[in-house]
């Protein structure tokens, strides 16, 4: 085998290798934006779906941004339930099977996964997910300045546009 054929074979193998990244891919952060525009509560199957997508994104090493907007900010509404402050997602239990699935996705034991989605939101934030809420949507829903779960950072229109422009993967619920 001549040197040129060997060099060509090596170049072909490197070009077809999945570990070879282009210059653009090396510098680009993988950002998943999950845009929640509808209420997440016990009556919605999408509640479990949203949190599974966030967990899967974190597992894949993506930077995950969870943006509550429009009617989705109602998921963060603080109300007096059961003698204390809670949100609609604080009242949604996570099934044992979903806890097992989430644990497998996140590389932890099922006992480590909270048993309600409100606590899971804090857990995922601790794992690196960014949680934001449209400030204007909070105002329009009468939740601004102190009637929403402060786990979500209020985001004005400029910040929301920056979040959207940084995302190279987008899902809306």
- What is Dmax (Cα atoms) for the chain? 80
Q: What is the CA radius of gyration of the chain?
A: 21
What local confidence, expressed as pLDDT, does residue 80 receive? 64
Which residue from 168, 165, 162, 144 is spatially nearest to 73, judged by alpha carbons? Answer: 144
Environment class of 1 (CB within 10 Å of its CB; exposed 0-12, middle 13-18, buried 19+): exposed
Torsion sign over Cα 89, 123, 53, 137:
positive
Q: Given this model, what pLDDT does residue 136 score?
A: 98
d(CA 72, CA 156): 15
Q: What is the pLDDT of residue 44?
A: 84
DSSP character at residue 60:
T
Is the full-model pTM beyond 0.75?
yes
Q: How far apart are CA 151 and CA 30, in angstroms?
A: 23
142's tokens: 């009468």
| 130 bridge partner residues | 65
Q: What is the mean pLDDT of each run of 10 residues along the chain (173 residues)?
A: 46 42 58 97 91 96 97 92 76 95 96 97 98 98 95 98 95 95
CA–CA gap between residue 22 and residue 33 (Å, rounded):
23
The pLDDT, as a whole number, for residue 8 is: 40
- 24-172 domain in CATH 3.20.20.70? no
């Amino acid at each position: 085998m001549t040197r040129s054929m060997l060099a060509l074979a090596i170049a072909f193998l490197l070009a077809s290798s999945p570990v070879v990244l282009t210059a653009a891919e090396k510098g680009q952060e993988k950002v998943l934006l999950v845009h929640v525009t509808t209420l997440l509560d016990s009556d919605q199957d999408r509640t479990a779906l949203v949190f599974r997508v966030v967990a899967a994104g974190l597992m894949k090493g993506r930077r995950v941004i969870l943006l509550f907007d429009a009617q989705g900010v109602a998921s963060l509404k603080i109300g007096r339930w059961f003698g204390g402050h809670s949100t609609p997602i604080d009242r949604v239990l996570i099934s044992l099977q979903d806890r097992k699935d989430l644990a497998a996705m996140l590389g932890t034991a099922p006992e480590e996964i909270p048993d309600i989605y409100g606590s899971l939101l804090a857990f995922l934030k601790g794992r690196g997910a960014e949680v934001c809420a449209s400030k204007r949507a909070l105002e329009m829903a009468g939740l601004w300045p102190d009637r929403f779960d402060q786990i979500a950072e209020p985001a004005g229109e400029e910040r929301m546009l920056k979040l959207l422009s940084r995302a190279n993967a987008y899902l809306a619920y």
